[in-house]
Amino acid sequence: MKKVFFDTNFLLRFYLDDVPAQASKAKKMVKAAKEGSILLVTDLIVICEMVWVMDSFYGLEKDVISEKITNLYRTSGVLVFNGEVLPEALSIYLDKNIDFTDAVVASSALRNNIEYLASFDKKHMNRLADLGIKRVEALEEIL
């Protein structure tokens, strides 16, 4: 089976249908993946960029973005490298009202039993305290 790595632009055209000729090509490729003809592959970093573009440039709501990402990683014939954090990251993204990349960081910390997060981002990272992640700024807070 042929493997095809897809980037952010491919995904955006597929989901937004804003460039019809490209969207049509993307839809055909996704259909082929669902049918088992090819394997579409991407990485978590592509998903992070896609979420950022959908939020900051297109102004989509978080629940809409989350639904699109959930549908993507559940699609037969699609593989997301490092995507094991996606379900929890999406939940944190919605529940804590933080940026998606911050949610990915939190999910990665939780999956790896890391209790401290060194960050100067008080606004978002303090929202993670009830998950067992303590934001710190200085070594003295840990030792």
- Domain shared by 90 and 60, yes or no: no
Q: Which domain covers residue 139, as residue numbers?
A: 85-143
- Domain shared by 77 and 89, yes or no: no
pLDDT confidence of residue 108: 96
How far is it between the farthest Cα atoms of the chain?
57
- Domain shared by 77 and 17, yes or no: yes
pLDDT confidence of residue 119: 95
- Domain shared by 8 and 39, yes or no: yes
Global pTM exceeds 0.85: yes
pLDDT confidence of residue 102: 96
Q: Which residues of the chain have pLDDT under 50?
A: none
Given 81, 113, 128, the domain boundary residue is: 81
Report the number of distinct structural domains present in the chain. 2
- Domain shared by 77 and 90, yes or no: no
Tell me the pairing of strands 134-136 and 116-118.
parallel
- Domain shared by 70 and 138, yes or no: no
Cβ atoms of residues 44 and 73 within 8 Å: no
According to DSSP, residue 4 is labeled E
- Domain shared by 17 and 60, yes or no: yes
Rounded distance between C-alpha atoms, residue 12 and residue 47, angstroms: 10
- Domain shared by 76 and 96, yes or no: no
- Across the chain, mean pLDDT equals 96
